[in-house]
Structure 1
Amino acid sequence: MDLDQLRTFDRIVREQSFTKAAAYLNITQATASMRIRALEQLLGVTLFQRGRTVTLTDQGMTFLPFARRIIGTVQEGREALRRVERGRIAIASLRSLVSPLITEPLLRFQQHYPGVDVVVNEGRQAQIVAMLHERDVEMGILCWPNIDPLLVDLVPLVIMRERVPLVVAPEIAARLPARPSIEEVLALVPRVISLRWWQAEPETAAALVRLAKTSVELPTGPARRLAIKGEGLGFFVNSAVADDIEAGRLVEIAPPDFEALHRDTAMVVRSLAALDRDMLADFIAEIARECAKVGIILDNRLASLGDKVA
């Protein structure tokens, strides 16, 4: 039994596909199949039911937590060795919050720790949870509460609430009454932009997509450009469009028949023991200060930890 076999087994469980797991691991599907066959022969059991979909057998379900425990232990060992060799911090964040929350804190942090390597990963909720699960990162910034079943015991350090305004181009806003109905807005906009900010989409955002003639799902960058050109409207987290609103490139509207939205996010760790590393605690404290500028702080566990993150 080797680590590659266990990682392949774990990835197939997550992807429910040999093909997708192989692509993620950057190996061929034949290699993935060979690793699983070798593991099954070693254990003397069948781990997967193979067919149009790939599912765990009862034996595979029983073995899964042990495999993940081994993977996690090896990752912890490697991380410990890296810390001894050289100072290193690895964190992950939702893509929409990397720029507003991490850029300035990183600059301040590196002034005090010029010799420390810093790795900032970005992605969607499930990707960040996976990185925390695999201990590839020590801290994550993700939607809260976390409902991903892969990790249910994350410890929130700071919980932030951010406004999610509905925005349109100024030329469209100029043609609308002061308090337009959503029907009046949609009559002037060709499509609704969906950005999937949430783990579970709020009914208000889902209703907007249902009412639209057409919709498109895009990452933040191209979605902003589409909205600025007057080719769509959408709910954007405030930090993504605040500069555009201030510069007049976008205008926030508030149809009375559509409630205001917000998104809650949190800085999380797997254990408060992560804060025993002074450099990580200092970096987290810097990011927490930025959170207070971006949104409303709903909970701040760092404040109660005193000197540990001072």
Structure 2
Amino acid sequence: MDLDQIRTFDRIAQDLSFTKAAAKLNVTQATVSMRMRALEDLLGVPLFHRGRNIALTDQGMTFLPYARRILQAAQEAKEALRRVERGRVSIGSLRSLVSPLVTESLLRFQQKYPSVDVVIHEGRQSQIAAMLRERDIELGILCWPNLDPLITDLVPLLVLRERVPMVTTPQIAAELGLEPKIEDVLRRVPRLISINWWQVYPDAALALFRRAPVSVELPTGPARRIAIRGEGVGFFVYSAVADDIAAGRLTEITPIDVDPVHRDIAMVVRNAAVLDREMLRDFATEIAEECRKNGTILETTLLPPTAANAA
């Protein structure tokens, strides 16, 4: 079985004509017939009813979706090889960090490497760890330290500490005053928003959830909208709400009886040798620049001196 046979079978199935298939494939009708006989002999079943009208047999109808999957897979493989020739960088990031860390980095990177393909995956911690484990991505941005027992050999290029402030609307913040207690906050906004920012919840957040009259666990987008409407209060990583704070839609509050909360994340690789690829090293350097704007860098290793100095 070869791709020419599969491609010819698919063409005949579309046109229900050996003659039309031959014309569109730019081969003779004899070649089309020969390919179909060879494919049917290999499969051991007839694929077409032949006669005045051509029709797929039951076996042909069953085989058709598999044939098209083969053609699609071959095309995807061909495109993947073309991308390798041009150059390709693959990165996986926590969803909450794609916009603040990757977007601007990508634009600057592609100014320098306009023909290089870039693939950005997003997901939860376990999904990014699995992509690194399966080597679907070369570089990952995830919570640190990584607690996934199936991948223990990650090399951190940079460790970033993000603030995770509690936020609500400016109006509610004004009502609460400068030094509210958490009971005052929960009395005014009883719905506590829970977002899965961490691998393990900080003690301060867990204690708060136990005290809240009701909590809801939501993705970032709906959680922000509820907070902006004044219908909920919660801890948000600063990068997720920075624009809302700047625009006056949300404001930070600091209950005097709740310890500050933060989250550590890292930019990691499976093997430091991947940084021998100049393009990947440059992309990591661009991301490091965005990290500097979005938190406190605790550690920088293996990146070019300019990135480390900027941090």
TM-score of the two chains, using structure 1 as the length reference: 0.71
Out of 147-156 and 167-176, give the one that drifted further: 167-176
User: 1:85 deviation in Å?
Assistant: 2.9
Q: Tell me: CA distance 1:235–1:241, structure 2 relative to 1, closer, same or farther (3 Å).
A: same
Q: Tell me: CA distance 1:82–1:168, structure 2 relative to 1, closer, same or farther (3 Å).
A: same
Indicate the residue corresponding to 1:260 in structure 2.
260
Indicate the residue corresponding to 2:205 in structure 1.
205
Query: Structure 1: any 5+ residue segments left out of the alignment?
Result: 1-77
User: 1:302 deviation in Å?
Assistant: 3.4
User: 1:178 deviation in Å?
Assistant: 1.7
User: 1:81 deviation in Å?
Assistant: 5.8
- Asked if 1 retains the 8 angstrom alpha-carbon contact of 2:96 and 2:220, the reply is yes
Indicate the residue corresponding to 1:126 in structure 2.
126
Structure 2: which amino acid aligns with 1:245?
A: I
Indicate the residue corresponding to 2:181 in structure 1.
181
| 2:239 paired with 1:230 | no
Runs of 4+ that moved beyond 2 A: 80-86, 305-310
Corresponding residue SS for 2:146: coil
- Offset from partner CA, 1:223-249 (integer Å, 9 cap, x none): 000000001000000001111112211
User: 1:199 deviation in Å?
Assistant: 0.4
C-alpha distance in 2 between matches for 1:188 and 1:82: 58
Indicate the residue corresponding to 2:60 in structure 1.
none
Query: Structure 2: any 5+ residue segments left out of the alignment?
Result: 1-77
C-alpha distance in 2 between matches for 1:288 and 1:207: 33
- Offset from partner CA, 1:241-283 (integer Å, 9 cap, x none): 1111122111111111100011110000000011011111111
C-alpha distance in 2 between matches for 1:113 and 1:141: 21
Structure 2: which amino acid aligns with 1:100?
A: P
Q: How large is the Cα RMSD of the aligned pairs?
A: 2.3
Q: Tell me: CA distance 1:164–1:294, structure 2 relative to 1, closer, same or farther (3 Å).
A: same
- Asked if 1 retains the 8 angstrom alpha-carbon contact of 2:160 and 2:299, the reply is yes
Indicate the residue corresponding to 1:117 in structure 2.
117
C-alpha distance in 2 between matches for 1:84 and 1:190: 53
User: 1:171 deviation in Å?
Assistant: 2.0
User: 1:307 deviation in Å?
Assistant: 8.9
- Offset from partner CA, 1:163-186 (integer Å, 9 cap, x none): 000011122112113201000010
- Asked if 2 retains the 8 angstrom alpha-carbon contact of 1:164 and 1:238, the reply is yes
- Offset from partner CA, 1:168-214 (integer Å, 9 cap, x none): 11221121132010000100103000002110001111111111111
Alignment of 1:224-303 (within 5 A): 224-303=224-303
C-alpha distance in 2 between matches for 1:309 and 1:159: 11
C-alpha distance in 2 between matches for 1:307 and 1:208: 41
C-alpha distance in 2 between matches for 1:96 and 1:307: 26
Q: Tell me: CA distance 1:84–1:182, structure 2 relative to 1, closer, same or farther (3 Å).
A: closer
Identity %: 66
- Offset from partner CA, 1:89-122 (integer Å, 9 cap, x none): 1100001100000111100111111111100000
C-alpha distance in 2 between matches for 1:218 and 1:102: 23
C-alpha distance in 2 between matches for 1:223 and 1:283: 31
TM-score of the two chains, using structure 2 as the length reference: 0.71
C-alpha distance in 1 between matches for 2:307 and 2:265: 23
Alignment of 1:3-18 (within 5 A): none
Indicate the residue corresponding to 1:156 in structure 2.
156
C-alpha distance in 1 between matches for 2:292 and 2:224: 24
C-alpha distance in 1 between matches for 2:308 and 2:256: 43
Q: Tell me: CA distance 1:294–1:242, structure 2 relative to 1, closer, same or farther (3 Å).
A: same
Structure 2: which amino acid aligns with 1:302?
A: L
Q: Tell me: CA distance 1:198–1:168, structure 2 relative to 1, closer, same or farther (3 Å).
A: same
- Asked if 2 retains the 8 angstrom alpha-carbon contact of 1:82 and 1:88, the reply is no
C-alpha distance in 2 between matches for 1:301 and 1:102: 19
C-alpha distance in 1 between matches for 2:213 and 2:237: 23
Corresponding residue SS for 1:259: coil
C-alpha distance in 1 between matches for 2:308 and 2:172: 47
- Asked if 1 retains the 8 angstrom alpha-carbon contact of 2:163 and 2:261, the reply is yes
Out of 82-91 and 210-219, give the one that drifted further: 82-91
Q: Tell me: CA distance 1:209–1:82, structure 2 relative to 1, closer, same or farther (3 Å).
A: farther
